[in-house]
């Protein structure tokens, strides 16, 4: 009879073991989806512990993927834009509950079923506004026609001329990737020109009545930010990128030289690999038009986790208590643990330094206030759009859930995925169960942030990566770096 070796409770894997398991998980996903390349990065408690590139960033020139490979992050752009929204709110420039016309007077007032309704930024950041996504099918309904009767246009507005030949007809794609507005080629060089794509369209439904995922809604958010801060959206994002030290994060512009930029790929009707069709993402910078690396995404995720867990010095006012249903409980032991170097495994890249200098910055406040992050990561009512998925503000949230003993245990985590022409992505943050507070505790004891952050990007259209990212996070959650 073979005896099973029992692991001790708590942290049970070495870094080498975790890297080997995670590499296998990522290689499996790459093999299953047939992506030319895949890049992954992982941090534990704020320290970048592993990065890996698999396959090719450029198939034709045989250039391998590497941690520095720059790819489209698609809808993870929403989470980055949400940080800009939160900063404007903290600075007193933006009120989430004011009608958007307070900041964007050129956005028409809306009616639903003949009744005047109000669209707010709070609704927009949680996909509750009723602003359409890329589909215009709802224009065919009787109610939409009635609500559109008094608008500036009585039919769906024309899309740019370059878009009229829809490349999706030659590709092996389904769902929303069949929609014309994914393939806009004309550069819409201002937020106002991007608004023209949809601003005169009727709402799909009454605001606050149901969840409807919409990237166009985030273009309206970009316009709100411009009106609130009196700065152009690209300038706001470049400032945020600079403040957070995201040195390899960019707006997805075709003209600039961006070193280490990957090629992007699709499959044709015969499932042969092709270069992705040319698109211009200027019309959706805020909701799906940014480029980044996995290491920058992990850095950004850690900045958000740090802000979420940070607490001020003992005796000062702290953020509101975490909701036990959506966040892990506080750790009893807040004594910091040393992090020692581990020898890299052959064939894998392990960074030699930590990401964001977690140990040296934990006396400093986060980019956002803890109370702000609590609000951002709090699930919003009426946003459930699958069995377990809830949306918060610019982030998907999975609440902690366990129904019975020895049943499936779902930890609390937050994430966002991205799907672009020629790329797919995920950024997932798994706060460590029973994690402590970052900052100064009693007697000025400093505790680093606690949690695992995972970023994965592929250079192929429509690849689901969330399950792989969660499994990788769970593997590294078992690692002790002592």
pLDDT of residue 443: 40
Over residues 136-141, the mean pLDDT reads 78
How far is Cα 242 from Cα 206, in angstroms, rounded to an integer?
38
Angle between helix 76-90 and 294-309 (nearest 10): 40
Q: Which of 172-176, 185-189, 302-306 has the highest mean pLDDT?
A: 302-306
Active-site annotation holds for 424: no
Judge residue 83's burial from the number of C-beta atoms within 10 Å of its C-beta, 0-12 exposed, 13-18 middle, 19 or more buried: buried
pTM recorded for the entire structure: 0.86
Catalytic residue (choose from 35, 43, 75, 168) = 75
Cβ atoms < 10 Å from Cβ of 240 = 18
Higher pLDDT, 166 or 58: 58
| pLDDT tens figures, 217-275 | 999 999 999 999 999 999 999 999 999 999 999 999 999 999 999 999 999 999 999 99
User: What are the DSSP calls for 386-419, one per residue?
Assistant: SSS-EE-SSSEEE--EE-STTS-EE--EEEEEEE
């Amino acid at each position: 009879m073979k005896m099973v070796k029992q692991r001790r409770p708590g942290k049970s894997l070495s870094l080498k073991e975790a890297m080997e398991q995670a590499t296998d998980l990522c290689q499996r996903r790459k093999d299953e989806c047939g992506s030319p390349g895949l890049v992954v990065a992982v941090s534990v408690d704020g320290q970048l512990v592993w990065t890996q590139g698999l396959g090719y960033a450029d198939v034709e020139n045989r250039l391998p993927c590497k941690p520095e490979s720059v790819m489209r992050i698609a809808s993870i752009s929403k989470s980055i834009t949400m940080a800009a929204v939160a900063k404007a709110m903290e600075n007193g420039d933006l009120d989430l509950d004011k009608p958007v016309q307070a900041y964007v007077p050129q956005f028409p007032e809306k009616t639903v079923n003949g009744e005047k309704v109000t669209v707010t930024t709070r609704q927009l950041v949680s996909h509750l506004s009723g602003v359409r996504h890329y589909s215009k099918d709802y224009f065919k309904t009787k109610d939409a026609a009635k609500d559109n009767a008094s608008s500036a246009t009585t039919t769906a507005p024309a899309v740019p001329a370059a878009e009229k030949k829809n490349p999706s007809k030659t590709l092996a794609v389904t769902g929303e990737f069949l929609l014309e507005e994914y393939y806009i080629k004309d550069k819409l060089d201002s937020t106002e020109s991007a608004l023209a794509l949809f601003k005169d369209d009727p709402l799909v439904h009454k605001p606050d009545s149901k969840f409807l995922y919409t990237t166009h809604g985030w273009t309206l958010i970009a316009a709100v930010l411009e009106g609130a801060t009196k700065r152009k959206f690209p300038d706001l994002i470049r400032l945020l990128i600079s403040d957070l030290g995201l040195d390899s994060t960019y707006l997805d512009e075709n003209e600039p030289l961006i070193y280490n930029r990957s090629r992007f790929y699709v499959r044709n009707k015969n499932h042969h690999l092709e270069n992705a069709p040319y698109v211009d993402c200027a019309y959706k910078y805020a909701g799906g038009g940014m480029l980044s690396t996995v290491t920058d995404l992990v850095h950004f995720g850690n900045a958000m986790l740090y802000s979420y867990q940070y607490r001020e010095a003992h005796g000062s006012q702290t953020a509101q208590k975490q909701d036990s249903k959506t966040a892990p409980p506080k750790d009893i032991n807040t004594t910091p643990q040393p992090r020692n170097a581990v020898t890299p495994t052959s064939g894998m890249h392990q960074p030699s330094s930590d990401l964001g200098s977690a140990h040296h910055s934990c006396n400093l406040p986060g980019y956002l206030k803890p109370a702000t992050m609590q609000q951002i990561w709090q699930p919003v009512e009426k946003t459930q759009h699958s069995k377990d998925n809830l949306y918060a503000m610019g982030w998907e949230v999975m609440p902690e859930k366990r129904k019975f003993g020895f049943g499936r245990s779902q930890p609390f985590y937050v994430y966002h995925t991205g799907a672009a022409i020629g790329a797919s992505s995920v950024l997932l943050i798994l706060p460590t169960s029973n994690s402590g507070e970052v900052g100064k505790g009693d007697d000025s004891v400093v505790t680093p942030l606690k949690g695992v952050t995972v970023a994965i990007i592929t250079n192929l259209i429509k690849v689901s990566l969330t399950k792989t990212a969660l499994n990788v996070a769970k593997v590294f959650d078992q690692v002790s770096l002592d």
